[in-house]
Amino acid sequence: MKVRLTLANKLVAILAFILALQLLLLGSLNYCREEYQEEIKRVNAAKRVSDIVTVILAELSELDVMMTMRTFTPEFVRSLNLTAVERWRTYYDALGEAVKGNQKDERAVELSHSAIKEAFNKLISLQAHSRVLEVEATRQYWLNHLGAIAAQVRSQELLDINARAKDIVERSPAKQEAIQAKETTVLLLGVFLNVAISLVCAAIFVREISGRLNVVADNSRRLAAGKPLREALKGADEISALDGVFRAMASAIGESARKERAIVENAQDMICSIDQDGKFVACNAASNRVLGIKSEDILGMRYISLIQKDDVHRLLATIEEVTNEKEVQPFEVRMLHTNGETIDTLWTAYWSKLDKTLFCVIHNDSERKQAERMKQEVVAMITHDLRTPVATLRNVLEMLQADMFGQLDARGKNMLKVADTSTAQMLSLINDLLDIEKIKAGMLELTLSDVELSDLLESACAALKPAADERQITLELKCEPASVIADEERLIRVITNLVANALKFSPPKTAISVIAEVEGSFAKVSVKDKGRGIPEDVLPTIFDRFTQVKSSDSRLKGGSGLGLSICKALVELHGGEIAATSVENQGSTFSFTIPLSSQTS
């Protein structure tokens, strides 16, 4: 079974192999060094043996010369210094130590030592009876006897020991040189093998890594070019894992690209890219639905040729802002359809500095613009064809209430009051709708001036006091001196709407606080009631159009759901902000800010 290793394991294996070679080299060098040391010890021991044997043989030769028939007299024997036996014992002890471990040599040294001791014992005995040497025959006997002992001392074994020692000493330099040469050879061979094997292993390792990394790099280039990837790398190392992750990423990118293409191709909006020369370089199939031009036919066309003549200059100026990386909101452009019609489109554009390409999403806005035109017509109709008759009707009702056409009975007056209330609500709704449309279209203009905030609050509260008294609700006004920059009529309407709302939802015999205070460069007006409050989930949308806390409020409390939306729009037109806080069953607080005038210190 093939073993699969990671890069780390492969590297560890290579390092372990190289380390084993290093240890083998060190072991071989250590063996050579030990062999050399052993040779040094052996030659030193041989020298010691040779020196001792040479001394022994030299002294024996000296005795041989002195002990002849002529000199071996009683006087000569008595003059001998036989205390030298200690010196000879020292010689043999050193010699025995030098040949220790060699039983044959130890035996030969022991026999030679015994012979020398015997010789000294004989001489000591002869020294005590030296007169016997006066007889020539006796002297000859002793000479022969001592000569025989000397021959035992100078045994062939001792001579062989000396010869072997000298031979070792003579041969040692050559052997030492051979050992050193072997050590040098082992060192050079080991270094060469270590370097060669290390280079080979490194080359194989690097080539394998480089080759596998090249596959990954080539796959990245293939992915960028949209070509199929090469075969997956085998193994269990990190590069194989990287290749697997890369393939998974490539698969995810491919899937994402397929989904993106599907989204782009099936989008209702025209998604395209335009080069710096103003030519279409890519476009989805929506171009056929928007302009009546197939996506393949629009490529190479200049976008200016498809723009309505009156919008060209404005579009070029907007495109220039986009290419200068200025923040540009979606903009409207009229384009030409192949059927000759002019269509309204909404463009969203982004300039890529890197690609030098303009990426656009073009939405066919004709239906919305048509609906907007229809709505404007409806508003105009409400303004002229509905508002005027309702206003006329209300005037007639007011004339009836003034008994200008005769006096009505009680039932008639009651019916007249109901009719007047209904026409007043209808006229208010019409006015609210008109104001909302004016604000949305940017047609509502403010007439700003420096006004005293206290005057506005008192005027609004005074207008609503009869309604408050009817419901037994107290209006509490607290106002710090402040002059604000505002449209007096519009700001009174904001205050009136907020206080009127508080009256609608406050229980009888409670108080509504209207507080004005200065905060920095703004005046803050707060209207606090003790009504039912606003649920937490409704608070974020309370200023949206047609929003009611409860669906029954419109029927039971009156109102269109446009009042707070108008308040928000008017406050923001003044440069302020509006907010609401509330706790259910405890009441609500509506606050707004208005810029102070320079007259307020």
* % of the chain beyond a pLDDT of 70: 90
Contact present, 345 and 334 (Cβ < 8 Å):
yes
Residue-level pLDDT at 594: 93
Q: Measured between alpha carbons, how far is 136 from 70 in angstroms, rounded to an integer?
A: 10
pLDDT tens across 13-47, in order?
Answer: 778 887 888 888 888 888 888 888 888 888 887 78
State the average pLDDT for the chain: 81
Q: At 242, which amino acid appears?
A: L
Q: Give residue 552's pLDDT.
A: 43
287-298: b (≥16 Cβ within 10 Å) or e: bbebbebebeeb
Task: Tell me the pLDDT band of 2, cut-offs 50, 70 and 90.
Answer: low
Higher pLDDT, 544 or 330: 330
pLDDT tens-digit readout, 352-375: 988 889 999 999 988 888 877 777
Q: Is residue 591 within 8 Å of 525, Cβ to Cβ?
A: yes
The identity of residue 193, as a single letter, is L
Whether pTM exceeds 0.85: no
pLDDT of residue 547: 67
Angle at 302 between CA 298 and CA 303, to 5 degrees: 85
Q: Which of 117, 102, 101 is nearest to 153 (CA)?
A: 117
Give the pLDDT band of residue 83 (cuts 50, 70, 90).
low
Predicted local distance difference test score (pLDDT) of residue 31: 85
201 or 588, which is more confident? 588
CA pair distance 296, 288, nearest whole angstrom = 10
The C-alpha atoms of residue 489 and residue 451 are separated, in whole angstroms, by 11
pLDDT value of residue 259 = 80
C-alpha gyration radius of the chain: 63
Phi-psi region of 249 (alpha: psi -120 to 50; beta: other; left: phi over 0): alpha
Continuous segment of H or E residues that includes residue 355: none
The residue among 494, 458, 450, 454 whose CA lies nearest residue 475 is 458
Residue type, 498: L
| Cα end-to-end distance, the chain, whole Å | 93
pLDDT at 211: 77
474-479 and 511-519 beta bridge pairing: parallel
472-524 residue pLDDT tens: 999 999 999 899 999 998 899 899 989 998 998 889 989 999 999 999 899 99
Q: What angle do CA 530, 536, 537 make, to 5 degrees?
A: 140
Check whether 553 has a pLDDT greater than 50.
no
Whole-number Å distance between alpha carbons of 287 and 291: 5
CB neighbours (10 Å) of residue 257? 11
Longest dimension (CA), the chain: 207
Q: With bands split at pLDDT 50, 70 and 90, how would you rate the model's confidence at 66?
A: low
- Residue 156's Cβ-count burial label (10 Å; 0-12, 13-18, 19+) is exposed
Query: Using CA of residue 351, residue 354, residue 357, residue 362, what is the dihedral sign?
Result: negative
For the record, the structure tokens of 251 come out as 């698969």
Quickly tell me which residue has 């269109």 as its tokens: 560
Residues 306 and 341: beta-carbon distance below 8 Å: no
68 CB-near residues (< 8 Å, 6+ apart): 143
Which tens digits make up the pLDDT trace of 442-482?
777 888 899 999 999 999 899 889 889 988 999 999 999 89
pLDDT digits (tens, 9 = 90+) for 224-263: 777 888 888 777 777 777 778 888 888 887 777 788 777 7
What are residue 28's phi and psi, to 5 degrees? -65, -40
What's the pLDDT tens digit per position in 261-298? Answer: 777 778 889 999 999 899 999 999 889 989 999 989 99
